[in-house]
């Protein structure tokens, strides 16, 4: 079994993956799913989730050793594998990086709460916006400390996967 911590648009998700014959058992944040997966071509997959009748086309584009862009049915989702050795070094390790941090909707949903405003100072891992998707609330967190530059999220508004919600400088 492979166990990973993934950062999906600012949200840390815990994933366990195990192969069972031609299927994969995936436990995402404690919820078990069974995937039938067929590789169409290198990096392009057809996935059938929990024996649903509809398949999902997934394209994985690796950009760095620890990062990838995953396109699910046309929606772009940036993903980063969190190195557990880096997390042990503390929050200062997560504070690096040049340029603004963009908080992006990880999936289509509805903005439930905007927790910060433009000009506010935020700490690394502080909640900044809550998005509801599939009746689950997801608190998106600041990847590092900084000042909120731009807030585009509006409470009650629907958002598409990949939509820019706010920027931290």
Per-residue pLDDT of the chain (169 residues; tens, 9 = 90+): 788 888 887 778 888 889 888 788 988 888 888 988 888 888 888 888 887 777 889 888 876 667 778 888 888 888 888 765 444 333 333 344 567 888 888 778 899 999 999 999 999 889 999 988 877 888 888 888 999 999 999 999 998 877 889 999 8
Euclidean distance between CA atoms 143 and 95, whole angstroms: 7
pTM over 0.85: no
CATH 2.40.50.100 segments of the chain: 97-168
Topology (CATH) of 2-81: Glycoprotein, Type 4 Pilin (3.30.700)
CA 88 to chain centre: 21
CA 165 to chain centre: 13
Topology (CATH) of 97-168: OB fold (Dihydrolipoamide Acetyltransferase, E2P) (2.40.50)
């Amino acid at each position: 079994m492979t166990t990973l911590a993934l950062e999906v648009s600012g949200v840390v998700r815990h994933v366990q993956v195990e192969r069972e014959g031609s299927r994969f058992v995936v436990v995402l944040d404690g919820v078990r799913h069974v995937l039938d997966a067929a590789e169409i071509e290198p990096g392009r997959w057809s996935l059938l989730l929990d024996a649903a009748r509809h398949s999902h086309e997934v394209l994985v584009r690796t950009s760095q050793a620890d990062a990838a862009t995953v396109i699910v049915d046309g929606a772009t989702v940036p993903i980063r594998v969190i190195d557990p050795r880096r997390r042990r070094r503390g929050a200062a390790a997560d504070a690096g990086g040049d340029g603004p941090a963009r908080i992006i909707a990880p999936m289509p949903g509805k903005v439930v709460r905007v927790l910060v405003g433009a000009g506010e100072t935020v700490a690394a891992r502080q909640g900044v916006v809550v998005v509801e998707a599939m009746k689950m609330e997801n608190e998106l967190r600041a990847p590092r400390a900084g000042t909120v530059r731009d807030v585009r999220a509006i409470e009650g508004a629907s958002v598409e996967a990949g939509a820019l919600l706010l920027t931290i400088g």
